[in-house]
């Protein structure tokens, strides 16, 4: 009898299709922009309080300042005619340059399409904090799911806020972006995550650029149509939509400056603190790899630029059912090989894999403490017992990211094992590419292969 471990698989990223470029769309500029204001005063705070007014003063003085845009495809600018010029982050960069002609800005794009705040937890150090930001615009409300919440996803998002403020001493603008259907049939009472993220803004003294509210306002006023904002699909807007996103974000930034808002860390988290203790460990650093696995580099091509994994991964371990050899003349040959399971021990309550998907990527099984992991997708009648590392790449016809939440709510007081079993078809070349094992909760520790 085979035992299995069932988990509920949460929303880890919204739809990612429709990333083709489009023709420029006329911009609309109604006179008013609504801003969701958060309290500038927060009780029971500790450590320094990063100030929007201080950022404003430094920019006016001509300082060198780093601004990071952290999020998913709506931060990258999918469907913009030129994401480097007409995305929301590009529009914000242009406004900052115009507002502060003496300042020396560096703008950092830290956006990967189709990902959420739970992966963001394990990206924060590498893709945000190491750049020593002076201002951060934080996305993920849409991809985490605007109408639903889970304690885990809210805890992950809050941990990002907490660490950015506490470790980088940086003011944060939370941006709440809509998909087209959110703006079309907006029911704010059902938008549980929007409500929760605004509550976090009040607790942490951030500001909120509520693009959902602004889109509803402009659509209701007849200032713009849904088709103008989302001309290609209802997932990613066009240039006019990104202009609206930028209007909301810029208004939130200005609100922070005008009200002299400071960010502050409450004594305790509002949500579970699982993700405050976390680690991302590259598998290549754990010791000798099993048979059929080797260390390699991420591909330098991708289906979409925000999913070019050489930007986001430092290396990979690759399981392949073909062994590459070269003769004296450099001619390559590929011979079949067997691939063993990869087994890792760790301590923590949540474990996630981060790697690369390719068009020849394989499915795999995962085992926690020897039990097969089964995950239940929303509205499914039967659990899934395999993970598909090509799920996005195959549909995109190119290389993309692969993110898999393997398990959560594990016991914090014991050591666990994770086994990865590639499922490789013998008749074709297949591979599995993983960079890191990401663990949160408890001690959040991954042990070397040789450790007992």
**pLDDT tens-digit series, residues 250-300:** 999 999 999 999 999 999 999 999 999 999 999 999 999 999 999 999 999
Residue 434 · residue 298 · CB < 8 Å: no
Residue 297 has a CB neighbour count (10 Å cut-off) of 14
Q: Furthest-apart CA pair in the chain: how many Å?
A: 73
Comparing C-alpha atoms, which of 148, 182, 121, 124 is closest to residue 10?
A: 148
Tally Cβ neighbours within 10 Å of residue 92.
24
Structural domains in the chain, CATH included, are: 45-273 (3.40.50.1110), 277-446 (2.60.120.260)
- Of the candidates 257, 242, 162, the one whose C-alpha atom is nearest the C-alpha of residue 207 is 257
Q: In angstroms, rounded to a whole number, what is the distance separating the alpha carbons of residues 285 and 432?
A: 17
pLDDT digits (tens, 9 = 90+) for 404-439: 999 999 999 999 999 999 999 999 999 999 999 999
Q: Does 26 have pLDDT greater than 80?
A: no
Question: Has residue 9 got a pLDDT over 90?
Answer: no
Structure-token pair, residue 395: 């549909």
Write down the pLDDT at residue 208: 98
**In this predicted structure, what is the pLDDT of residue 35?**
45
To the nearest whole number, what is the mean pLDDT of the chain?
Answer: 90
The angle subtended at Cα 343 by Cα 341 and Cα 346, nearest 5°, is: 160
Summarised one tens digit per residue, pLDDT across range 309-367 is: 999 999 999 999 999 887 777 788 888 999 999 999 999 999 999 999 999 999 999 99
| pLDDT at position 29 over 50 | no
What is this structure's pTM? Answer: 0.89
pLDDT value at residue 324:
82
Pairing outcome for strands 45-46 and 265-266: antiparallel
Token pair of 175 as six digits = 């941006």
**Which two structure tokens, joined as six digits, stand for 6?**
């069932």
Q: Could you tell me which residue, 19 or 207, shows the higher pLDDT?
A: 207
What are the C-alpha distances in Å from 384 to residues 60, 82, 362? 55, 38, 15
pLDDT band at 49 (very low <50, low <70, confident <90, very high): low
Q: Please state the rounded mean pLDDT for residues 213-230.
A: 97
3-state secondary structure of 194: helix
Confidence of residue 187 (pLDDT cuts 50, 70, 90): very high
């Amino acid at each position: 009898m085979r035992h299995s471990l069932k988990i509920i698989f949460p929303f880890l990223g919204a739809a990612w299709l429709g990333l083709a470029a489009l023709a420029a769309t006329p911009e609309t500029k109604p006179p008013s922009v609504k801003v969701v204001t958060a309290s500038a005063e927060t009780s029971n705070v500790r450590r320094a309080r990063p100030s929007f007014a201080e950022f404003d003063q430094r920019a006016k003085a001509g300082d060198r300042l780093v601004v990071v845009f952290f999020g998913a495809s709506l931060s990258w600018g999918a469907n913009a005619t030129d994401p480097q010029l007409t995305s929301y982050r590009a529009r914000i960069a242009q406004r900052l340059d115009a507002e502060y002609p003496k300042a020396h800005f560096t703008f950092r794009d830290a956006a990967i399409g189709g990902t959420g705040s739970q992966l963001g937890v394990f990206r924060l150090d590498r893709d945000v904090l190491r750049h020593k930001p002076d201002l951060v615009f934080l996305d993920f409300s849409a991809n985490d799911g605007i109408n639903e919440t889970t304690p885990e996803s809210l805890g992950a998002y809050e941990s990002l806020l907490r660490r950015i403020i506490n470790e980088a001493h940086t003011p944060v603008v939370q941006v709440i972006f809509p998909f087209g259907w959110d703006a079309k049939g907006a029911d704010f009472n059902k938008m549980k995550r929007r409500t929760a993220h605004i509550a976090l803004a009040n607790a942490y003294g951030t500001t909120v650029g509520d693009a959902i509210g602004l889109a509803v306002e402009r659509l209701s006023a007849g200032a713009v149509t849904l088709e103008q904002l989302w001309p290609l699909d209802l997932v990613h807007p066009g240039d006019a939509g990104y202009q609206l996103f930028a209007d909301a974000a810029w208004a939130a930034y200005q609100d922070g400056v005008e009200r002299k808002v400071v960010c502050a860390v409450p004594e305790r988290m509002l949500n579970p603190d699982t993700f405050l203790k976390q680690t991302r460990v590259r598998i290549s650093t754990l010791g000798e790899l099993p048979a059929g696995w080797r260390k390699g580099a991420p591909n330098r091509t991708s289906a979409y630029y925000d999913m070019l994994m050489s930007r986001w991964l430092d290396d990979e371990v690759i399981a392949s059912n073909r062994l590459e050899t070269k003769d004296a003349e450099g001619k390559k040959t590929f011979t079949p090989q067997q691939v063993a399971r990869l087994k890792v021990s760790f301590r923590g309550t949540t474990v996630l894999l981060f790697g690369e998907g390719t068009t020849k990527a394989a499915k795999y099984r995962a085992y926690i403490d020897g039990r097969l992991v089964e995950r239940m997708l929303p509205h499914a009648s039967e659990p899934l017992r395999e993970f598909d590392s090509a799920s996005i790449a195959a549909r995109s016809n190119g290389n993309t990211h692969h993110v898999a939440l393997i398990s959560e709510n594990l016991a914090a007081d014991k050591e666990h094992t994770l086994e990865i079993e590639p499922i490789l078809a013998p008749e074709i070349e297949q591979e599995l590419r993983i960079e890191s094992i990401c663990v949160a909760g408890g001690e959040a520790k991954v042990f070397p292969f040789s450790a007992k």
